Amino acid sequence: MQPGEHILSNFNTALQELRETTLIMAAGAQRNLQNTINGLLERDKQLCNQAIADDEDEDQLEIQIDSLGLQIIVRFQPVATDLRMVIGAMKTATNLERISDQAVSIAKRSRKMLKNEEVPEVSRIEGLYQVAAGMLADSITAYSDSDIDLALTVVEREKTLKKTHKTTSRFFSEKLETQTGHYRDYLDLVLICRWLDRVGNLATNIAEDVIFETTSADIRHGGELPPELLEGNNKPEASD
């Protein structure tokens, strides 16, 4: 069901502004995560500093999105799809802000690690990063395109994320026990694994909110998608 334009043009404008601001924030969170990992792998302190500094923009965008959402609720009393869209944007903003916070945590640890000699196995982190960053990218695309199919693939990839996190984290934990000379770095890498896992979890939250926004089905915490949506993954047109 694709609703048409509102009679009130400023309602359309307000919703559009909310969505666009959320997408700008999403691009920022993605960039911060990318900068922070590149900073770690390429031993580029500047990129880490960039991610830490840019987090301030994400904080301000979260406040702006909440304010826009509240204004829409007060001025237009949205219902149905509009209401879910406003709530979805505000929740997505919260998740994006947390993702950016994870990027800051990684950047700070990375900056510390750059002071030491490079740990040879640091590139092992890239596999976990690719899974988490892929989930984030797809959840944002799903949000942008209201794509339930893509959102569902993000939710399903949480198992892969867990598995990759466990494997990578265990590898660094073992190194932590045996390579005592670099124990601080390996400890930092274990923590970075945890933060990347968290990024994947937050991307899953965004994907679940996309499904709620598009279909009103709440699949969080084991909730199931209605059968008719599982088959076609599109909201059925109701008959008159």
Applying CB under 8 A, the residues found at the interface with other proteins are 1-8, 11, 76-84, 216, 237-240
Of residues 109 and 235, the one with the C-beta less far from other proteins: 235
Beta carbon of residue 65, minimum distance to other proteins (angstroms, whole number):
21
Of residues 17 and 126, the one with the C-beta less far from other proteins: 17
Beta carbon of residue 217, minimum distance to other proteins (angstroms, whole number):
9
Write out the DSSP string of the chain.
------SSHHHHHHHHHHHHHHHHHHHHHHHHHHHHHHHHHTT-HHHHHHHHHHHHHHHHHHHHHHHHHHHHHHHH---HHHHHHHHHHHHHHHHHHHHHHHHHHHHHHHHHHHTSPPPGGGGGHHHHHHHHHHHHHHHHHHHHHT-HHHHHHHHHTHHHHHHHHHHHHHHHHHHHHH-GGGHHHHHHHHHHHHHHHHHHHHHHHHHHHHHHHHH----GGG----HHHHHHSSPPPPP-
Of residues 8 and 70, the one with the C-beta less far from other proteins: 8
Beta carbon of residue 2, minimum distance to other proteins (angstroms, whole number):
8
Beta carbon of residue 7, minimum distance to other proteins (angstroms, whole number):
5
Beta carbon of residue 77, minimum distance to other proteins (angstroms, whole number):
6
Beta carbon of residue 216, minimum distance to other proteins (angstroms, whole number):
4
Of residues 133 and 229, the one with the C-beta less far from other proteins: 229
Beta carbon of residue 1, minimum distance to other proteins (angstroms, whole number):
5
Chain CA centroid to CA 117, Å? 31
Of residues 3 and 222, the one with the C-beta less far from other proteins: 3
Of residues 77 and 180, the one with the C-beta less far from other proteins: 77
CA dist., res. 179 & res. 186, Å (int): 9
Q: CB under 8 Å to 163, separation ≥6 — which residues? A: none
CA dist., res. 215 & res. 140, Å (int): 17
Of residues 41 and 87, the one with the C-beta less far from other proteins: 87
